[in-house]
């Protein structure tokens, strides 16, 4: 684990991003490959990229007038990904024809999204934090129903004190109002909370907001090049523990 700075108070609680950090968003690629042989991995990548793009679009345009819940965003992004990756050669046809052809596959993939695989070390780390009495939570773009279903499917019930969705404020991360939800739920200032994300853009947004941050760089990628570094960079969720031991 690398640390950008030794300054700052000890963290008193930890918030996790959900999608990409606790849960592997690309684990849907296996089912996507069964449904669309030879295209599953590409589909999962386009789906995720478009999902994040849509959250930014509806948050920043027209003062949020076009906001849609994350479940709706996720469905719309999947429809785009299928049109782009699977149906591109056919130019997607008319909308009714598209839905008739791909509706069943879409429903299977959306159902799988509520059963995303957790990264293998995460359960053990959450149990360690629970044993230490550390306050824990998720702060996510996901709808409450989506998050609760995924937490349950992963076997994380009882290991998280807070499951916080941005949906009530109708603004997705990286809007500062989204990060403020963590302070409100925990009753702590951002500087006293560790925010953990595998998404570099999310780790940067949380750092700018004022959280202590751990970027979990599972794939040896470069961090965002906007002049700010996270508090720490690690390789998996085990790197949370030095903040509390």
Instruction: Outline which parts of the chain fall under CATH 3.40.50.1000.
Output: 2-24+116-243
Q: What is the mean pLDDT of residues 17-23?
A: 98
7 is catalytic: no
What percentage of the chain reaches a pLDDT higher than 70?
93
Rounded mean pLDDT, 167-174: 98
Q: How many helices (H) and strands (E) does the chain have?
A: 8, 7
CA–CA dist 216, 109 (Å, integer): 26
218-231 pLDDT, tens digit each? 999 999 999 999 99
Report pLDDT digits (tens) over 104-141: 999 999 999 999 999 999 999 999 999 999 999 999 99
Residue 89: the pLDDT is 47
Q: What is the rounded average pLDDT of the residues 206-214? A: 98
In the chain, residues under CATH classification 1.10.150.240 are: 25-114
Q: Decide if pLDDT at 99 tops 80.
A: no
Rounded to whole angstroms, the Cα distance separating 120 from 235 reads 13
3.40.50.300, 3.40.50.1000, 3.90.180.10, 3.40.50.2000: CATH of 2-24+116-243: 3.40.50.1000
CATH of domain 25-114: 1.10.150.240
Position 100 scores a pLDDT of 83
Average pLDDT over residues 146-160: 97
Rounded distance between C-alpha atoms, residue 227 and residue 60, angstroms: 23
How confident is the model at residue 201, as a pLDDT?
Answer: 98
- Provide CB contacts within 8 A for 50, sequence distance 6+: 76, 77, 80, 81
19, pLDDT greater than 70? yes
70 pLDDT higher than 90: yes
Average model confidence (pLDDT) across the chain? 94
Mean pLDDT of the 87-106 span: 72
Among residues 7, 17, 192, 236, the one annotated as catalytic is 17
Q: Write down the pLDDT at residue 33.
A: 97
- E strands, the chain, are 2-3, 13-16, 135-140, 162-165, 193-197, 212-216, 232-234
- Segment 65-79 mean pLDDT: 97
Is the pLDDT assigned to residue 6 strictly greater than 50? Answer: no
How far are the Cα atoms of 33, 112, 237 from residue 23, in angstroms, in the given order?
Answer: 19, 12, 11
Cβ pair 144, 163 in contact under 8 A: yes
- Give residue 146's pLDDT band: very low, low, confident or very high (50, 70, 90): very high
Q: Is the pLDDT of residue 95 over 70?
A: no
């Amino acid at each position: 684990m690398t640390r950008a700075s030794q300054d700052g108070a000890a963290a008193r609680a930890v918030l996790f991003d959900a999608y990409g950090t606790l849960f592997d968003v690309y684990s849907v690629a296996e089912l996507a490959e069964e449904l669309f042989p030879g295209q599953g991995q590409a589909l999962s990548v386009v789906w995720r990229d478009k999902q994040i793009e849509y959250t930014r679009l509806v948050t920043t345009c027209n003062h949020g007038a076009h906001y849609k819940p994350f479940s709706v965003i996720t469905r719309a992004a999947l429809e785009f990904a299928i049109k782009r990756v699977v149906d591109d050669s056919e130019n997607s046809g008319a909308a009714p024809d598209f839905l008739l052809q791909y509706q069943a596959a879409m429903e299977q993939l959306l159902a799988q999204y509520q059963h995303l695989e957790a990264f293998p070390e995460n359960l053990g780390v959450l149990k360690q934090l629970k044993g230490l009495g550390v306050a824990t939570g998720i702060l996510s773009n996901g709808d409450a129903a989506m998050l609760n279903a995924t937490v349950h499917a992963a076997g994380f019930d009882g290991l998280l004190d807070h499951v916080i969705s941005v949906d009530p404020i109708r603004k997705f991360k990286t809007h500062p109002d989204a990060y403020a939800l963590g302070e409100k739920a925990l009753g702590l200032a951002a500087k006293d909370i560790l925010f953990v994300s595998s998404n570099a853009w999310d780790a940067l947004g949380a750092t700018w907001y004022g959280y202590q941050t751990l970027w979990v760089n599972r794939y040896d990628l470069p961090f965002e090049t906007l002049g700010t570094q996270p508090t720490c960079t690690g390789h998996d969720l085990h790197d949370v523990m030095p903040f509390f031991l």
